[in-house]
Amino acid sequence: MNIKYSTSEMGFEGYFPENYSNLRVFETQLLFLEAYHLPINKILTESKKYDSDLLYNIGKGGLDKQYIAFLYNHHHNIVSELKDKFNKVYIYQDGEIGWWNQVDVKVQIWWYNQLSDSDGILVPNTSDTSFYKGLFPNQDIKVIRSVMTDKGLDKSKFKPKQNKSIITGPLTPDYNGFSQVLLAHHLDMEIDIPPMGKGRMPKDSWEMADNLGVNYLEYMSWINWMYNLNQYKIGYMMSSATASGSFALNCAYLGIPCIGDKRADTQSILFPDLAVNVFDNQKALELTLKLKNDLAFYNEVSIKAKTIYNQEFTKDKMIYHLNN
């Protein structure tokens, strides 16, 4: 695997710097791979060829129907187009494994054909591999570990600890937000909810949040997200849609115990004592009360997560696991 270039619908071109303000998982992986990012539109409109493999992140467009429709109508064989310009094309899963099952069947068929034409699929979790192996038994399916870097963070800007908890995602069907709110209420703490992306806060979600006694946060850059996240005592990552698991990753870096979905590698590796079936609310409640009432257990989970993060979620470990 010789990935020197990557692409998505992002307009950014170049190498992502360590102090990039919105250095989320995908951007950090490119930083660690030392891969140059090219906007997809530039690649498609140029005749230039590259002596390199390409990592293509279509998921940055995700369920943006206009973006998907543009590709479907104007670049129906987009992977073949890209393979004419690069040695190999690997597809990067950004978002949950089944996002493409939520679009029209004709688009699902089209996307299945694109994945079949690719040279491999890179996924964030070990649990994702069986999903693709069942559909593409001859494809090269690899796990690319979710990572972050603190090089651009000013630790003096971290908000001080408060008696607050935070859950993943808005009160929308794909985030299992209501169940997480009910669990967090047992902590007798203030509860905050991040939007998990621009445009993810419909008006009725704001109204529901008010009714449930929780606070919605505004969308913020990754750096500001980290400064803000430090103030919480406990987090929940029990979304029914599992993706990169960046929430558990960020919590581990800060030593914030996170109860979450065991399908996510970040959760199962960093918080093995708090990893649950996403719909096992009984177990999640037991862990909630144990974190609330058992300070020794709370501290043990916190220290273990920070230790594992420093040992296992490095540039070298990400590249090692990708190549092995």
CATH number, residue 81 = 3.40.50
Q: Is residue 320 part of a domain?
A: no
Q: Is residue 317 part of a domain?
A: no
- Confidence category of residue 102, pLDDT binned at 50, 70, 90: confident
106 and 187 both lie in a single domain: no
135 and 7 both lie in a single domain: yes
Q: Is residue 318 part of a domain?
A: no
114 and 232 both lie in a single domain: no
206 and 137 both lie in a single domain: no
Q: What percent of the chain has pLDDT over 70?
A: 93
Final residue in a domain of this structure, among 95, 124, 144: 144
Let me know the angle formed at the C-alpha of 142 by 141 and 148, rounded to the nearest 5 degrees. 145
pLDDT at 226: 96
Q: Is residue 319 part of a domain?
A: no
How far is C-alpha 305 from the chain's CA centre? 18
Mean pLDDT of 222-232: 96
133 and 18 both lie in a single domain: yes
Residues 6+ apart with CB under 8 A from 187: 165, 233, 234, 288, 291, 292
Final residue in a domain of this structure, among 122, 144, 166: 144
Across the chain, what does the average pLDDT equal?
90
- Confidence category of residue 190, pLDDT binned at 50, 70, 90: very high
Q: Is residue 191 part of a domain?
A: yes
At 170, which amino acid appears? P
Q: pLDDT tens, 11-52?
A: 899 999 998 888 999 999 999 999 999 999 999 999 999 999
**Residue 38 structural domain:** 3-144
pLDDT at 241: 81
Mean pLDDT of 116-137: 94
How far is C-alpha 255 from the chain's CA centre? 19
190 and 305 both lie in a single domain: yes
pLDDT at 297: 98
What's the CA gap between 218 and 125, in Å, rounded? 28
210 and 305 both lie in a single domain: yes
What's the CA gap between 128 and 13, in Å, rounded? 29
Q: pLDDT tens, 47-87?
A: 999 999 999 997 655 556 677 778 888 888 999 999 999 99
Mean pLDDT of 262-273: 97
Residues 6+ apart with CB under 8 A from 319: 32, 33
92 and 231 both lie in a single domain: no
Phi and psi (nearest 5°) for 166?
-145, 140
At 23, which amino acid appears? L
pLDDT at 318: 94
- Confidence category of residue 167, pLDDT binned at 50, 70, 90: very high
Final residue in a domain of this structure, among 124, 144, 164: 144
- Confidence category of residue 234, pLDDT binned at 50, 70, 90: very high
Q: Which of 30-39, 169-178, 249-258 has the lowest mean pLDDT?
A: 169-178
Mean pLDDT of 137-165: 95
* Number of domains making up the chain: 2
pLDDT at 198 over 60: no
- Neighbouring CB atoms inside 10 A of 186's CB total 13
pLDDT at 132: 92
Q: What is the CATH number of the domain that holds 271?
A: 3.40.50.2000
125 and 229 both lie in a single domain: no
pLDDT at 201: 55
pLDDT at 199 over 60: no
Q: What percent of the chain has pLDDT over 90?
A: 70
DSSP E strands in 88-128: the ranges are 89-92, 120-123
Q: Is residue 167 part of a domain?
A: yes
17 and 50 both lie in a single domain: yes
240 and 112 both lie in a single domain: no
Q: Is residue 150 part of a domain?
A: no
Q: Is residue 29 part of a domain?
A: yes
134 and 183 both lie in a single domain: no
